[in-house]
Amino acid sequence: MTRSTILALGLFLGLAVPVLPEQPADEAGAARTIDDLIGALSASKPEQRIEAIDALADRGKDATQAVSALLQQLDADDPGVRASAAEAVGKIGAEADTVVRTLIAHFPDEGYVERFEPRYEAIPLFAVYAFAVAAFGEPAVAPLIDALKSDSQQVYLGAAIALEAMGQSAAKAMPQLITMLESGDGAKRRAAAGAIRGIGPAAADAVPLLVKLLHDEDFHSQYWACRALGAIGPASAVASGDLLDRLSHGTVSVRRNAAAALGNIGPDIGPEAAARLIRVVEEEFTAPVREEAVIALGKLKPYAKESVPVLRKALADPGFHLPTHTARALWLLTGDPGEALPTLVRSLDDLTYFQHAAEVLAEMGPKASPAVERLIAALAERDPDDRVAAARALGHIGAPAAKAEVPLRRLLEDDELHVREAAGAALKAISEAQVK
């Protein structure tokens, strides 16, 4: 399965979802004809079928003739074959009506894809099918609306996952999602809120019902209401008072998402809400809540006069334990990277903060040039995700990172596909920046 699919599977399921490594391109598969690969779908060993399926997926629309045979693999005994077949038809992107309806018909599949390293994880197949459906975009909305009406929790949950992944193009599903928010079934309300989170600003009509959901007795429902309101953005400003109530009285997961929602709504939350977030940074002992308050303040520039001194104090406090988020918030509010850069460069030496520090440095672009030497050293890190983060940051820094070209070229031979891809993208970005 693709990394993006695996990363997203935790959305409604509350799972600790693993990130599976990308598989290197199958050179032998690339040399085989479509007919050869279709024939290989009859192989007795699941791994041989998966290899053929992945090779067909890599052909994209050129493999349209294989769609029917791939759909048959959704009924294979092996769950890995079923998952790979679903992703393949989504990637090929042909015969939308047939493929979408067939995938939705398989939402009741109770199978899982298993992973045993570094710990055991079980990924539900209906969610894999949902992401494959989402790849078809707006043509999939009508059958997904029908699926939302199902009495099967797994079916309507799969539909909601697909709609969330589709984003604003799923806006036509809003009437049915609003009906679900009005339902007496908590699971349906949560599924609807999750889908609305993906649709974003186009879901503004749902704000009154989401405000009501903030006060549901079930904290999971409160959690999803916070996330949906934040995703809708400024149109949710009317919910600021209710979000402040959740920030004060909710469970930890609700409180942190209430803080995040206030930041995502933006300055329209008003000075009272901004002042409450500042107090959270000053007084809160629960790290996840404090973290989201810091992130939120970075999005509230009109209140920088009040928040910047508090963030500076927090950045200087070694016991605050949020160096990269605080540094980023200060930079966003002041526009000056000078205060943030020393902290971000130091954070590259701490495994806890390395990847986020690299992400913030990438956001800064050429202004992060003082970090180039340390990022070059990080290209040799043992963790491939750290190598990717360093390469991406160097690419965004651009011309000032020219001295990284030689070590980046070495990464073009890395064992990990996503490292090679990141190195190639960084080299291209640095080269283009030097031409400008």
* Those residues with Cβ within 8 angstroms of residue 414's Cβ, 6 or more apart along the chain or in another chain: 384, 387, 420, 423
DSSP string, 286-316: -HHHHHHHHHHHTT-GGGHHHHHHHHHHHHH
Predicted confidence at residue 194, as pLDDT, reads: 97
| Per-residue pLDDT tens digits for 329-381 | 999 999 999 999 999 999 999 999 999 999 999 999 999 999 999 999 999 98
- Look up residue 30 and give its two tokens: 């690339």
Q: What is the DSSP letter of 24?
A: P
State how far the Cα of 228 lies from the Cα of 163, in Å rounded to an integer: 13
| Per-residue pLDDT tens digits for 405-435 | 999 999 999 999 999 999 999 999 999 999 8
Asked if residue 181 lies in contact with residue 206, where contact means CB atoms within 8 angstroms, the answer is yes
- 7 pLDDT band (50/70/90 cuts)? very low
For 61, other C-beta atoms within 10 Å of its C-beta total 10
Asked if residue 148 lies in contact with residue 177, where contact means CB atoms within 8 angstroms, the answer is yes
Backbone angles phi, psi at 115, to 5 degrees: -135, 140
Supply the mean pLDDT for the chain: 92
**Helix or strand or coil: residue 52?**
helix
Upper half-sphere CA count for residue 297 (Cβ side, 13 Å): 34
Is the pLDDT reported for residue 23 higher than 80?
A: no
Predicted confidence at residue 1, as pLDDT, reads: 43
Query: Residue type at 79?
Result: P
- Look up residue 83 and give its two tokens: 């998952």
Query: pTM for this structure?
Result: 0.88
**Helix or strand or coil: residue 77?**
coil
SS3 of 80-100: the string is HHHHHHHHHHHHHCCCHHHHH
Asked if residue 230 lies in contact with residue 265, where contact means CB atoms within 8 angstroms, the answer is yes
State how far the Cα of 357 lies from the Cα of 344, in Å rounded to an integer: 5
* Those residues with Cβ within 8 angstroms of residue 94's Cβ, 6 or more apart along the chain or in another chain: 61, 64, 67
Is the pLDDT reported for residue 278 higher than 70?
A: yes
Predicted confidence at residue 80, as pLDDT, reads: 95
Q: Which residue in this structure is represented by tokens 């943030």? A: 340
Query: Residue type at 41?
Result: L
* Those residues with Cβ within 8 angstroms of residue 411's Cβ, 6 or more apart along the chain or in another chain: 379, 387, 391, 419, 420, 422, 423
State how far the Cα of 99 lies from the Cα of 66, in Å rounded to an integer: 12
State how far the Cα of 148 lies from the Cα of 157, in Å rounded to an integer: 8
Predicted confidence at residue 12, as pLDDT, reads: 53
Predicted confidence at residue 28, as pLDDT, reads: 52
State how far the Cα of 435 lies from the Cα of 423, in Å rounded to an integer: 19
* Those residues with Cβ within 8 angstroms of residue 398's Cβ, 6 or more apart along the chain or in another chain: 365, 366, 429, 430, 432, 433, 434
Using CA atoms, how far residue 113 sits from 5, 82, 160, 245, 259, in Å, is 13, 9, 20, 40, 35
**Mean pLDDT, to the nearest integer, of 91-118?**
91
Q: What is the DSSP letter of 122?
A: E
Predicted confidence at residue 117, as pLDDT, reads: 60
Name the percent of the chain in helix, strand, coil, to the closest 5: 75, 0, 20
- 110 pLDDT band (50/70/90 cuts)? very high
Predicted confidence at residue 99, as pLDDT, reads: 98
Residues in the chain: 436
Is the pLDDT reported for residue 13 higher than 90?
A: no
State how far the Cα of 273 lies from the Cα of 265, in Å rounded to an integer: 11
**Would you say the C-alpha torsion 130, 136, 141, 142 has a positive or negative sign?**
negative
- Look up residue 243 and give its two tokens: 């979000």
Backbone angles phi, psi at 112, to 5 degrees: -135, 150
Q: CA geometry: angle at 239 spanning 238 and 245, to 5°?
A: 140
Q: Which residue in this structure is represented by tokens 């040399």? A: 31
**Helix or strand or coil: residue 124?**
strand
- 116 pLDDT band (50/70/90 cuts)? confident
